[in-house]
A and B are shown apart, each in its own frame.
Chain A
Amino acid sequence: MSSVPAKRSSLGRKFWTQRYLMLLTLPAVLWIIVFNYIPMYGIIIAFQDYTPFHGVIHSPWIGLDNFRELFNDPTFRESLSNTLVISIVKLVFGFPAPIFLALMLNELMFKRFKRIVQSLSYLPYFVSWVLVVGLMYTLLDPETGVVSKMLVHLHVIGSDTMLMGSEKSFLTLVVFTEIWKSIGWNSIIYLAAIAGVDPQLYEAATVDGANRFRRVWHITLPALKPTIIILLILSVGGLINSNFDQLYLMQNSMTQDAANVLSVYSYKTGLVSGRFSYATAIGLFQSVVAFVLMYAANYSSRKITKESLF
């Protein structure tokens, strides 16, 4: 076993003893290459004038022309600003919401009630966006919708307002339904972190005369800090990506300008109009910005809070 050829054959033998293990592992490795790495290689068509006839290999190279066109394209600029506005408002309202829910659930004294509310709050996460949008059309229908009627009754909207067909209410509905769908599910991770806090800390604080708000402020929130920071870094990285399902499905003839975000625009130019290269350029722009945002968030978090994702 000490000579070089023996070593070589021992590697072969090792592979042979692992042949069944390899049989289990390699199909997925091949899958990953085909469905993840070949598409990554396909990004090069952003720098080509791709036509299906010529394919990826033979399509002519055009350098940065697609990107030059992109930055002069008013629809692209509009979709970029729509994306950022929707994402930022979602972040401001949607990010703290599950933290509040977790804190509120944790303060409940009736354990049974807590369990029921918790279980119910996850439910919307598991239904499709198709259904959620269907629910919105049903409940917000100006003629028959229960929620519409209630809002008219409370003088929030006029009696003939079509909430789903108005650009003014679009952002509010996008943010509200996003929170409605994900608040419960996103609170699980915070509840898990809260469950890990040593109960003696609370008892000691109570003995020292700390009231409930002080206990939350000085014990619970610091315990949540690492989780909050990691999820915040990930969210900042996601600012440039919007929820395609939600926005694509919520658009209609009246709201398609407001619903025009990058992912929807890239879908429409690429797969509807067949401009594959241009749409890939939009996708590449998104990936690069997402990476820069996440890196910047991670960097500043490491400087400010000493916590970071990588």
Chain B
Amino acid sequence: MIASKSWAGRSFDWINVLLLLCLAIVTLYPFYNIVITSFNDPTDAARGGITFWPRQLSIENYKMVFRDDNIIHAFGVTVARTLIGTATAVLFTGAFAYGVSKPELLGRRFFLMLAIVTMYFSGGIIPYYLVVAKYLHLKGHFLVYIIPNLFSVFNAILMLTFFRGLPKEMEESAKIDGANDLRIFFQLVLPVSKPVLATIALYNAVAHWNAWYDAMLFGNENLQTLQQILMQIISSNSNVSIIASSLGFGSVTAQSLKLATMVITTLPIVFVYPFVQKYFVQGVMIGSVKG
């Protein structure tokens, strides 16, 4: 922007900087607060007043989390669904997008229309639940986290846009050399599509990592996810503290489990985030150009 020389312009600049600084603090501080409180001795933390740094440094909360078999198991389930779910969804959605990116594909417009209509119309949660639980019998099976998440119209459109922009010559020369469409897709197209694959993989990974609703609907005690456990800790905690905190008994154990679990479930996102955010943003850009 053009630098303002006037008094009004300069003061506007400083107010603007100040407001955005406030936004940065309001965004970041909640995360900072749970991190420092989680590293504080739990009994001491129950007194409150931990604002800028831990008062009594301790890793007791984390020890408690790592002694909890439910949480360890849920961690395993969440990692498994994130890795398997992401890899399969990228390939499955990508394969569709590649197919409909070919103008010669028979029924191309019809397939695309089938997909796009679902962005505006859906059967709603109950019929969906009945299909997954009653007709496909996926309830209580690990695959209920994988199969219903294999495809996303939005991601398919992002990939379709990317594939359309690839140079035709590369695939044509491979065809002359006798390669079929499967080989072209896996060995030629996928390797040059890393930017869009990374974007889609990240969207999927975040969704899998944060998922709790499908676990609540279709899971069982062996399929609990981290977010689901966290949700249970928070809601049991909140009902206890809201009803009983005035009586002066707060559950120290529940509080420390809550804080350390919150930090552990969020850490992967916060740590990976600075390195990958440009891919996320790319996704929005492609999407907005298309829309």
Taking CB as reference atom, which chain B residue is nearest A166?
Answer: B242
Given the interface pairs A104-B19, A149-B49, the reply to whether A25 lies near B100 with Cβ below 8 Å is yes
Given the interface pairs A20-B181, A29-B114, A212-B12, the reply to whether A279 lies near B126 with Cβ below 8 Å is yes
Which residues B1-54 have CB closer than 8 A to chain A? 1-4, 6, 9, 12-13, 16-17, 19-21, 23-24, 26-28, 30-31, 33-34, 37, 45-51
Which of B1, B98, B118, B269 makes the CB contact (< 8 A) with A24? B98
In the complex, A34 Cα to B114 Cα: how many Å? Answer: 12
Given the interface pairs A22-B99, A188-B284, the reply to whether A230 lies near B245 with Cβ below 8 Å is no
In the complex, A56 Cα to B130 Cα: how many Å? Answer: 10
Which of A120, A183, A276, A291 makes the CB contact (< 8 A) with B130? A276
Which of A40, A119, A253 makes the CB contact (< 8 A) with B239? A253
A117 CB-CB contact with B under 8 Å: yes
Which residues B101-128 have CB closer than 8 A to chain A? 102, 104-106, 111, 114-115, 118, 120-128
Which of B130, B156, B213 makes the CB contact (< 8 A) with A245? B213
A83 shortest CB reach to chain B, Å: 15
In the complex, A25 Cα to B114 Cα: how many Å? Answer: 12
* Docked-complex contact B34 and A270, CB < 8 angstroms: no
Total number of A-B contacts with CB less than 8 angstroms? 286
**B 230-272 to A, binary, CB cutoff 8 A, 1 in contact else 0:** 1100110111011101100010000000110010011001100
* Docked-complex contact A144 and B227, CB < 8 angstroms: no
In the complex, A109 Cα to B281 Cα: how many Å? Answer: 22
* Docked-complex contact B121 and A40, CB < 8 angstroms: yes
Which residues A29-71 have CB closer than 8 A to chain B? 29, 31-43, 45, 52, 55-56
Using Cβ atoms and an 8 Å threshold, which residues of chain A touch B145? none
* Docked-complex contact A164 and B242, CB < 8 angstroms: yes
Using Cβ atoms and an 8 Å threshold, which residues of chain B touch A23? 182
* Docked-complex contact A24 and B99, CB < 8 angstroms: yes
* B interface: dominant SS: helix
Size category of the A interface is 35 or more
* A interface: dominant SS: helix
In the complex, A37 Cα to B151 Cα: how many Å? Answer: 14
* Docked-complex contact B124 and A252, CB < 8 angstroms: no
In the complex, A280 Cα to B245 Cα: how many Å? Answer: 39
Which of these binds chain B: A73-81, A87-95, A121-129, A167-175?
A: A121-129
Size category of the B interface is 35 or more
Taking CB as reference atom, which chain B residue is nearest A189?
Answer: B288
* Docked-complex contact A131 and B265, CB < 8 angstroms: yes
Taking CB as reference atom, which chain A residue is nearest B111?
Answer: A29
Using Cβ atoms and an 8 Å threshold, which residues of chain A touch B239? 252-253
Which residues A105-133 have CB closer than 8 A to chain B? 105-110, 113, 116-117, 119-124, 126-128, 130-131, 133
* Docked-complex contact A141 and B241, CB < 8 angstroms: yes
* Docked-complex contact A31 and B92, CB < 8 angstroms: yes
* Docked-complex contact B262 and A43, CB < 8 angstroms: no
A301 CB-CB contact with B under 8 Å: no
Which of A107, A137, A202, A280 makes the CB contact (< 8 A) with B16? A107
A147 shortest CB reach to chain B, Å: 8
In the complex, A255 Cα to B249 Cα: how many Å? Answer: 22
B210 CB-CB contact with A under 8 Å: yes
Which of B19, B128, B238, B273 makes the CB contact (< 8 A) with A126? B273
B64 CB-CB contact with A under 8 Å: no
Which of A40, A119, A126, A138 makes the CB contact (< 8 A) with B259? A138
* Docked-complex contact A117 and B238, CB < 8 angstroms: no
Using Cβ atoms and an 8 Å threshold, which residues of chain B touch A121? 23-24, 27
Using Cβ atoms and an 8 Å threshold, which residues of chain A touch B181? 18, 20-21, 24
B260 shortest CB reach to chain A, Å: 11
* Docked-complex contact A276 and B16, CB < 8 angstroms: no
In the complex, A193 Cα to B288 Cα: how many Å? Answer: 9
Given A31-B151, A283-B123, 9 new contacts (CB under 8 A)? A25-B111, A40-B122, A40-B127, A134-B258, A144-B46, A144-B48, A185-B284, A266-B124, A271-B129
Residues of B within 8 A of A (CB): 1-4, 6, 9, 12-13, 16-17, 19-21, 23-24, 26-28, 30-31, 33-34, 37, 45-51, 92-93, 95-96, 98-100, 102, 104-106, 111, 114-115, 118, 120-132, 134-136, 148, 150-151, 156, 180-182, 185, 206, 209-210, 212-213, 217, 227, 230-231, 234-235, 237-239, 241-243, 245-246, 250, 258-259, 262, 265-266, 269-270, 273-274, 277, 280-281, 284-285, 288, 291
